[in-house]
Structure 1
Amino acid sequence: MNPIILFLFFSLFIMTLSLQTEPATNNAQIIVMGLVYCDVCTTNSFSRHSYFLPGAEVQIDCNFRAYVPKTKEQVSFSVNRTTDKHGVYMVEIPSVDGIECAEADIASTCQASLVGSSSASCNIPGYGSTTDEMAIKSRHPNLCIYSLAAMNFRPSKRNARLCGK
């Protein structure tokens, strides 16, 4: 058989297979997020002088376990993210087999740690890591949002004039 005809036949066959629709899956999308701020008055809380810190680098380590009949699947990852202009960092995992948020059959652990500050005047870690997480219910049944506690940097010296004694 002519190689060109054979190539065209296989190309047509592969194109036909790719046009078939796959059944819809109910896999979850997972979002892990948190924020970083500059604690100007070094109180380890957000005050009126605090501000969100853009450009801070954060390391996020997570482990998600799905409890599916006959199997226990696990997804682990470690990534670094940089905060946006609002001091928010975020990791999106588009689809995870076996995890359905609506079924509440997911166990998770996530930790975020400060890696570096973008500000030379606010670069001493305050709350430098977090394991506190809060699952946020979504209107979409397979969207899992995990919000981690806020972390902060602070200046090397407290501004007594601005913050008081």
Structure 2
Amino acid sequence: MNLIILSVLSSFFILSVSLRPEPPKNNAQITVMGFVYCDICSNNTFSRHSYFLPGAEVQLDCTFRAVSPKTREQIAFSVNRTTDKYGVYRLEIPSVDGIACAEAAISSSCLASLVGSSSTSCNVPGYRSTTDEIAIKSRHPNLCIYSLNALNFRPSKRDVTLCGGN
């Protein structure tokens, strides 16, 4: 009987210890994201006929450097990501030693390139790659969000009934 009580109490103790919040880290969480759309009118803008393209494949080539006199740390990577049902691709890097977003102590460069479309009716590359990014300031001091400009595919033939003859 005592063994059962001890077992139950130790289970509660282990559970309570595991639920305690971890002390905050000074490392940055980096999110790189962008979206891919189908440019129905082939004019490199998101029009009322355009739609976000789920299942498109994008390659990300990024380098992040800590900008500090104390460190010269750098990470570089190349990965492929597939867009979700909203046409958004995303890469999350959970923790980067020596890089803190709050002090703007990060220098980055990312290139996003189209690899392939999931749609047979919208598979001709429009904007194939982008390095233009917007760094979004987060309320959380160590969350860096880099939003890259949109990439697009277009149909092989322009629909003049939807988009006009120009």
Q: Would you call these one fold, judging by a TM-score over 0.5?
A: yes
Alignment of 1:1-165 (within 5 A): 24-165=24-165
SS of aligned partner of 2:67 = strand
Is residue 132–residue 148 contact of structure 2 (8 Å, CA) maintained in 1?
Answer: yes
Structure 1 segments (4+ residues) deviating >6 Å: none
Identity over aligned pairs, percent: 77
In 2, distance between residues paired with 1:111 and 1:134?
Answer: 13
In 2, distance between residues paired with 1:122 and 1:67?
Answer: 41
Is residue 67–residue 98 contact of structure 1 (8 Å, CA) maintained in 2?
Answer: no
Amino acid at match of 2:152: N
Is residue 30–residue 94 contact of structure 1 (8 Å, CA) maintained in 2?
Answer: yes
* Length-normalised TM-score, structure 1: 0.85
SS of aligned partner of 2:156 = coil
Is residue 128–residue 151 contact of structure 2 (8 Å, CA) maintained in 1?
Answer: yes
SS of aligned partner of 2:48 = coil
Is residue 123–residue 153 contact of structure 1 (8 Å, CA) maintained in 2?
Answer: yes
Shift, 1:114, TM fit? 0.2
In 2, distance between residues paired with 1:64 and 1:76?
Answer: 6
Is residue 100–residue 142 contact of structure 1 (8 Å, CA) maintained in 2?
Answer: yes
Shift, 1:127, TM fit? 0.3
In 1, distance between residues paired with 2:23 and 2:127?
Answer: 45
Structure 2: gaps (5+ residues): 1-17
In 2, distance between residues paired with 1:35 and 1:25?
Answer: 30
Shift, 1:24, TM fit? 4.5
Is residue 127–residue 153 contact of structure 1 (8 Å, CA) maintained in 2?
Answer: yes
Q: Give CA deviations for 1:45-85 in whole Å, capped at 9, x if unaligned.
A: 00000000000000001000002333200010110000000
In 2, distance between residues paired with 1:99 and 1:68?
Answer: 9
In 2, distance between residues paired with 1:47 and 1:24?
Answer: 44
SS of aligned partner of 1:42 = coil
Q: Give CA deviations for 1:10-68 in whole Å, capped at 9, x if unaligned.
A: xxxxxxxxx9xx96421000000000000000000000000000000000010000023
Is residue 71–residue 98 contact of structure 2 (8 Å, CA) maintained in 1?
Answer: no
Shift, 1:162, TM fit? 1.1
Residues matched between the structures, number? 146
Amino acid at match of 1:124: V
